Amino acid sequence: MKIVQICLAGIVLMFASCATSVGVWEGGSNTLDTTALRGEVEKSLIADSWVIVPTAAQLAALKAGPGGQQTWAYFTFTGGTGGGSQFQMAGKSHHRVNWLTFGILGLSLQGRARAVCAQWYETWAGNHPTTGSAAGSGS
C-alpha cells in the first residue's frame, strides 16, 4: 500500500514539474524550404539571446528570465505546397524549481513567458514581412 502511495505522489509531482503552456504562434515562408526556414528561425532566436537545446523535438529553445524563470519554445516545421514551409511555435512557462512548488511558479509566471514568446514572434514577423503566413494566436 505504501508503494502505491509513493508512486501516486511521484506521478503528481512529475506532472506538477512540467512546463505550463502559454500559447501557439504560427509563421512561415512562401519561398524557403523547411531546412532554410529552420535555419532562419534558429538565427533569429540566437540573436534574441535564446539558447537552442538539443531535444527529440524538431527545435527547442530556452530563454532564461530573472529568478529562475524559464521560457521554452518548441518548434515544428512542415513543408507547404509550392516550395514554401511553415512553423508552429508552442510556448511554455517553467521555473528551475517548478517541481518543488508543485508547478505554482511556472503557472504564476505564464504572463512573463507569453510576453517573451510574443516579443520574439513580433520581431520575427517584422523582419520577415513577406514570408509570414499567419499571425500568432498567443492563446
Residues 123-132 pLDDT 10s: 998 887 654 4
pLDDT confidence of residue 84: 83
For the domain 2-127, what is the CATH code? Answer: 3.30.310
pLDDT confidence of residue 106: 53
Please classify residue 108 by burial: count the beta carbons closer than 10 Å to its beta carbon, then call 0-12 exposed, 13-18 middle and 19+ buried: middle
Mean pLDDT value across residues 49-64: 88
- Sign of the C-alpha dihedral, residues 100, 101, 107, 109? negative
Residues 74-117 pLDDT 10s: 999 998 666 789 999 999 887 755 555 555 555 566 788 899 99
Bigger pLDDT: 32 vs 49: 49
Global pTM value: 0.73
pLDDT confidence of residue 96: 58
Mean pLDDT value across residues 4-24: 56
Average pLDDT over the chain, rounded to whole? 76
